[in-house]
Chain A
Amino acid sequence: MQLAFQKGSRSRVLGGLLLIMMAIFVVRLFYLQIVMHDDYVAQAMQEQVKPLTIPAKRGLIYAMDGDKPIQLVMNQTVYTLFVDPATVTKPEQVLETIRKIAGGNLRPNLDKLIAKKDTRYQILGTKLTRQQAEMIKKEELKGVGFQEVSQRVYPEGGLAAQTLGFVNAEGKGQYGVEEALHDRLVGTDGLLKSVTDISGVPLTIGSGNINRPAKDGENVVLTIDRNVQAKAERALAEGLKNTGAKEGSVIVMDPQNGHVMAMANLPSYRPAEFTKVTDAAAFNNATVGVPYEAGSVIKTLTVATGLDQRAIRPDSTYVNTDKIKVGDREIGNATKGQTGTITMQKALDYSLNTGMVTIAQRLGDGTINQQARNTMYEYFHDRFGLGEPTGIELLGEARGNVTKSDQPGAAVQYATMSFGQGMNVTMTQVISAFCSAINGGTYYRPTVVAGTLASDKTTFSPTNPDVLRKNVISQEASSQLRSMVHEAREKFHGAKDKAGYEVGGKTGTSQTLKDGRYVDEQTIGSYLGYGAGGDGTPRYVIMVQVSGKDMNLEGGKHAMPVFTDISNWMIDYLKLQPKG
């Protein structure tokens, strides 16, 4: 059968019209499905596929508890309570319920906040616990919602606050290791890109789903020992209370690997309450961030230089007249009366400036010439690392300043540097240098990071000690220095130490600059020393510093008692065995 329309018939016209319409549909469909294919697919994906961020957990921070890591900074999920005032039907019931369950976490003026009907989001409470949130959820209050927030918690309160730092409201680490190691702690957020249903539940249908798991931040184990830290903080607080000093710092270091066992500063704060701090100086870790003229504790390094260069021996002598001339300046001793021919040991015992200037002169041709200055600069700056950041993993480490040996007027400056004036150094620089001088000559980079703990929270990967320089001074010079520093303490303060142990130390009292000149009415007291067991191996080094505005503080009177307190405690804590 052959289908044919008569020419000009209505059926033929209708057929033609249908053909045209079909052609239009075909063209339109071609445009939509072929030409615009990618655009519409993209639009559909935008509607159906939702990218969900899987937040990475910030790494935990551990301290040591003897030889076992314990949690010092943790994460906890807390809840922000909010309402949509436009949908709240029973505001009185909402307020009564939340006041009853979470009274302490609520904002003031709740009545006003919930009455703002022209807004859709009002925060009524923050940092609610999971139990509080669950109790409120059970009440099924209309218009009330919760938002999960991860916050840092500090089970040990304010312990090691300046070393830790804190995490601000934007999730960024501030100060301490939180900021210095932020990149390691923060982790990488994951991504879940998937077709979701109307309520946002991800579905596995679709071929373009992405599921990239979050990579949690590293769990960092600090070298800080919580027991030593707590002891250092208690001893320092006690010391400040007894002396009336306003500020103080303590570092306890293991001289055999550069591990910082404690780092305390006062005044301090509680990291969980960082918003309540009124003076931002409390955030600063003075042991790394505040350089100062360390005073006579530096004499230990001058003696180390002289011994290593064989310019002196402990029993070398010089004529002390309580004053010595360098260039056009006359330098005097703080302790007077030990005049005559005396040994270098005695010069160290009585902390005589003239003895240290003599050592500096003997490094040259009897004067502090270029050769003497070069040698001192090489030891102080290049070997002991003074005037350079140590590289400790803490924020805000100061460089300090050690004047180069070829500067004008350097002879006088180097004379004063020999007894700790005329250069700015941080406590961390000084204690690290001293550790290298008494441990046989190995300079370890000071560190607060002992290693990392795997996500199973049991597998500990320790970080190897970082040896920056070997043979800073010879074994022989190191041994002689230890002996001299021990004798310097033994002579006047040995009775305060536990019997049978080798404890050495050196006082330091530094004048401060006021209006460009040194003054005696505002001094900083320092003490630097070590302790060893029966085998003579130094096991700990402690440095203490106390200061206060317009206060005359001395190393021997005000800083040393803190050292003695911690030192005697350390002997027990480390279970050191006595001699014999």
Chain B
Amino acid sequence: MSYQTSPQYYSSRRRPQTASWNRNQNTVAFVSSVKLGPIAHTVLIALMITVLGLVYLTQATRATGYDYEAERIDSQIAELETKKGDLEVENARLTALENVQDSSVAKAMTPPAATEYAR
């Protein structure tokens, strides 16, 4: 069987006519008949740059959005810490000796009548 090359197809491997073809080897390649001109290339590149720019902007905006979220959480933490601090101060005031000594429980206390020591 004879083998002919057409204008659309050509041999991908320049081999001597006498060489035999092995399995799993391309013997032809497709060449599109559609040709892109310089304007189309420019438009495509511009489109790619635009898409990349949009991707960058999206990411940058998302990062800024996280900043606001972080700021909100920071404020919440600060507020809770302030509340905790207030409660600690209140607790310390309530357990201060001045208050404890004036309590009815403390006033009702009496010295022990006798003490035994564990050896």
Contact = CB atoms under 8 A, between A and B. Distances in A.
Interface of A: 70-71, 74-77, 129-130, 153, 155-157, 159, 197, 201-205, 226-227, 230, 577-578
A201 B96 contact: no
Nearest to A74: B89
Contacts of A203: 63-64, 67
Per DSSP, are chain A's interface residues mostly helix, strand or loop, or mixed? mixed
Contacts of B117: 577-578
Contact of A130 (B71, B82, B88): B82
A578 B71 CA distance: 63
B92 interface: yes
A77 B96 contact: no
A230 B101 CA distance: 11
Nearest to B117: A577
B96 A204 contact: no
A156 B96 CA distance: 5
A140 to B, nearest CB: 18
B84 to A, nearest CB: 11
Interface in B88-119: 88-89, 92-93, 95-98, 101, 117
Nearest to B94: A155
B98 A75 contact: no
Given A77-B82, A156-B98, A227-B97, A204 B88 contact: no
Nearest to B112: A572
8 contacts: A76-B85, A153-B89, A155-B92, A155-B93, A201-B71, A202-B71, A204-B64, A230-B101
Contacts of B67: 201-204
Interface centre among B60, B63, B96, B97 (most CB of A within 10 A): B97
B66 interface: yes
Given A155-B92, A156-B96, A76 B86 contact: yes
Given A155-B93, A227-B97, A230-B97, A75 B68 contact: no
A205 B63 contact: yes
Nearest to B119: A577
B13 interface: no
Given A76-B85, A577-B117, A578-B117, A205 B64 contact: yes
Contacts of B98: 156-157, 159
A201 B60 CA distance: 16
A512 to B, nearest CB: 35
A129 B85 CA distance: 12
B82 A71 contact: no
Interface residues of B, number: 21
A282 to B, nearest CB: 19
A153 B95 CA distance: 14
Given A70-B95, A74-B92, 20 more contacts: A74-B85, A74-B88, A77-B82, A129-B86, A130-B83, A153-B89, A155-B93, A156-B96, A156-B97, A157-B96, A159-B97, A201-B67, A201-B68, A201-B71, A202-B71, A205-B60, A227-B97, A230-B97, A577-B117, A578-B117
Nearest to B79: A130
* Minimum-distance CB pairs A-B, first 5: A155-B92, A155-B93, A203-B67, A155-B96, A156-B96
A363 B97 CA distance: 50
A315 B96 CA distance: 50
A77 to B, nearest CB: 5
Contacts of B71: 201-202
Contacts of A202: 67, 71
B46 to A, nearest CB: 23
B66 A204 contact: yes
Contacts of A74: 85, 88-89, 92
Interface string B30-72: 0000000000000000000000000000001001101110010
A375 B77 CA distance: 65
A226 B97 contact: yes
Nearest to B118: A577
Contacts of B92: 70-71, 74, 155
Contacts of A227: 97
A77 B64 contact: no
A226 B95 CA distance: 12
A290 B82 CA distance: 41
A178 B44 CA distance: 71
Contacts of B85: 74-77
Which of A71, A129, A578 is packed against the most chain B CB atoms within 10 Å? A71
Nearest to A158: B98
Nearest to B97: A230
A71 B97 contact: no
A232 to B, nearest CB: 12
A77 B81 CA distance: 10
A191 B30 CA distance: 63
B2 to A, nearest CB: 48
B68 A71 contact: no
Nearest to B72: A201
Contacts of B97: 156, 159, 226-227, 230
A75 B86 CA distance: 9
Contacts of B95: 70, 155
A205 B57 CA distance: 12
Contacts of A77: 82, 85-86
Contacts of B82: 77, 130
A33 B110 CA distance: 86
Nearest to A77: B82
